Amino acid sequence: MAESYRRSRWSNGLFVVPYLSVFLTLLVFPLGWGIWLSLNKVDLFGGERFIGLKNYARVLSDPIFGQAVKNTVIFVGVSVPTLVILGLFLALALNKTTKGSSFLRGVFFASSILSVTIVTLIWRIVFIPNDGLMALIFEYFGWQPIGFLSTTGWSLFSVGVATVWWCIGLPMMLFLAALQQIPKDLYEAAALDNASRWRVLTRITLPSIKSTIMLVAIIQVVMQFQLFGQAQLMTNGGPAGSSRPIVMYIYEVGFLRWDIGMGAAASQVLFLIILCAAMLQYWVSTRKEETDA
């Protein structure tokens, strides 16, 4: 009996048919169709005409796309390390069974369950000039007010603050889970050596959760590259496009300018960028492990 269970049968494949059909129709086909669209002059209301790589040429020579790539890379480059370091810090600080720790863990994770529109609503009302919480604080201390949502540099920063506030829960939780997995005898050995806290952190804790750090970093890179809602709702990409991420560029080209051929081309470029970033990270991490070993 056991033999037949292990035997390769077509009927066993039936278990994957439901997912596979969804996978093919809603992921594989649209991926191919999207690539086909990107090679066509086509707008929201039809009119397909094959134009080869012209859409890609337009995207890559568009200064605004360049700006959006730059914005997104800066955003990812700052927000991901912040999320990783802050998440790790919180996990270390709150890795206790006391009531206070568990309450704070709850607080830090709670924002993750809010939807992006509520997060941006909250932070807009914090950052808006004159009436916002920050404006009141600045006024109280007599500081020069800052246009958080309307000044080049600050606007992307503000989007980043809202994003970190929103996303910090998951990294913290993943790090906490990883900390729980570290074998206790490692610490006992360290205790016998009278090792300092810093030494314990760098020699035992961090190396033990290395793979989790990598996992968190890759998840966050992939997520933050897809920044859209926060920027659209808080700054609408402004001022002067200084907080417009790639996804918002795709949205605008497709749904404001009707040009879904060019939008599709831009989204394939984004796909490539994310793929490269994730693979680069993976490569760096595995290479390091090899040299370590």
Site for other proteins in 65-84 (CB under 8 A): none
Which among 116, 152, 73 is positioned nearest to 230, based on CA atoms? Answer: 116
The amino acid occupying position 272 is L
Tell me: does residue 99 bind other proteins (CB under 8 A): no
* Cα dihedral 159→162→167→172 (10° resolution): 120
109-113 long-range Cβ contacts below 8 angstroms, 24+ apart: 109/169, 109/170, 109/172, 109/173, 110/169, 111/165, 111/166, 111/168, 111/169, 112/166, 112/167, 112/168, 112/169, 112/170
Q: Select from 73, 112, 210, 285 the one that contacts other proteins (CB under 8 A).
A: 112
- Compare residues 99 and 292 and give the one whose CB is closer to other proteins: 99
Give the binding-site size for other proteins (rule: CB under 8 A): 140
Site for other proteins in 236-275 (CB under 8 A): 236, 238-242, 246-247, 250-252, 254-260, 262-264, 267-268, 270-271, 274-275
> Length of the chain, please?
293
Q: Select from 40, 68, 69, 105 the one that contacts other proteins (CB under 8 A).
A: 105
- Compare residues 100 and 291 and give the one whose CB is closer to other proteins: 100
Tell me: does residue 282 bind other proteins (CB under 8 A): no
Q: Select from 74, 104, 157, 285 the one that contacts other proteins (CB under 8 A).
A: 104
Q: Select from 57, 182, 224, 292 the one that contacts other proteins (CB under 8 A).
A: 182
CA 211, 214, 220 angle in degrees (round to 5)?
A: 140
CA 74, 75, 81 angle in degrees (round to 5)?
A: 95
202 to 221: interface string for other proteins, x by CB under 8 A = --xx-----xx--x------
Site for other proteins in 24-43 (CB under 8 A): 25-31, 33-34, 37, 41, 43
Of 75-83, 141-149, 285-293, the window that binds other proteins (rule: CB under 8 A) is: 141-149
How far is the CA of 217 from the CAs of 71, 148, 203, 227, 259, in angstroms? 19, 27, 20, 15, 34
- Compare residues 45 and 291 and give the one whose CB is closer to other proteins: 45
To other proteins, the closest distance from the beta carbon of 33 in angstroms equals 4
Alpha carbons 89 and 172: distance in angstroms, whole number: 8
Of 61-69, 77-85, 285-293, the window that binds other proteins (rule: CB under 8 A) is: 61-69
Tell me: does residue 130 bind other proteins (CB under 8 A): yes
